[in-house]
Structure 1
């Protein structure tokens, strides 16, 4: 669900873009985070806890917790609650604790 109108606030949605979540095409806007676009598309489960395998959803929405870690364009442990949406992104639910991303320039 996306708020379309508000009596006080004005929304600048930016451009409409499409991205892929677990192989499913989803649409959002360039001014949204990945998590906001997923939430607006009705996707509430963002992953499972690594040890007890309980469902995880959006928790803090400010980048302080680990509930929204996902793999984005092949990079693990991306906090999707603070990452802006871009056209063509590939977002995948992360299983377990993810990996460590090394840059070959290090």
Structure 2
């Protein structure tokens, strides 16, 4: 049995990805959300890119700005992490290598 080489999910990356998805699904800009959440545009960008880990207070403010309950965001993140973890244990059948066919 061959295992898939899946790198571990960092929580800050999964949170950032989910926040960005929520924002872009609403058609909102970083500037709009950062103003509503009272957080700097640069910091929000870093959170979305998984470079910074948001405090619970900041996360609550961003979620409120997006109109997304924090419980929904955290459930989404949990599902992403669980999917990635389950991929690690998926058996992958070995590739069958066919001999080359040469034209006559």
TM-score (norm 2): 0.25
Structure whose residues are more often helix by fraction: 2
Structure whose residues are more often strand by fraction: 1
TM-score (norm 1): 0.24
Q: Which has the higher contact order (CA 8 A, sep 6+)?
A: 2
